[in-house]
């Protein structure tokens, strides 16, 4: 299990690893972030950090494609936007890296939205 896991004990659940997976996803994507509210109430910007080729195969309408390999140079414009930033990619790994970069640059409302398809469903 992950350090500081406060989930139920393995004996009290049918799947002894389910609490670990829940903790893992909580650590990766944050504790139940309401992405829809961020977009509708705070005008959050969705930044897709996949390659242009991946982005062209499908993306969230209105999202901005800033590939991870070029991401750092776009941080000043994201800071200037003054809105929460939700990063997404294919699985959540690259967007996690982008989110860490945003937070390191002082953007406190930076969120890892995970995979773009699941984020798209969460926004409906």
Active site residues: 89
Q: Where are the alpha helices (DSSP H) in the chain?
A: 18-29, 35-42, 52-56, 75-81, 93-104, 116-122
Q: Count the alpha carbons within 13 Å of 40 in the hemisphere toward its beta carbon.
A: 7
Lookup: tokens for 90: 């294919």
- Rounded distance between C-alpha atoms, residue 62 and residue 43, angstroms: 12
- Rounded distance between C-alpha atoms, residue 10 and residue 24, angstroms: 15
């Amino acid at each position: 299990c992950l350090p500081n896991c406060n989930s139920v004990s393995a004996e009290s659940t049918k799947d002894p690893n389910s609490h670990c997976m829940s903790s893992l996803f909580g650590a990766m994507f944050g504790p139940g972030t309401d992405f829809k509210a961020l977009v509708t109430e705070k005008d959050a910007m969705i930044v897709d950090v996949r390659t242009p080729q991946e982005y062209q195969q499908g993306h969230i309408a209105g999202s901005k494609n800033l590939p991870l390999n070029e991401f750092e140079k776009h941080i000043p414009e994201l800071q200037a936007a003054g809105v929460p930033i939700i990063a997404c990619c294919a699985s959540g790994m690259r967007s996690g890296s982008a989110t860490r970069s945003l937070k390191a640059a002082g953007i406190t409302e930076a969120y890892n939205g995970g995979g773009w398809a699941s984020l798209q469903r969460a926004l409906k």
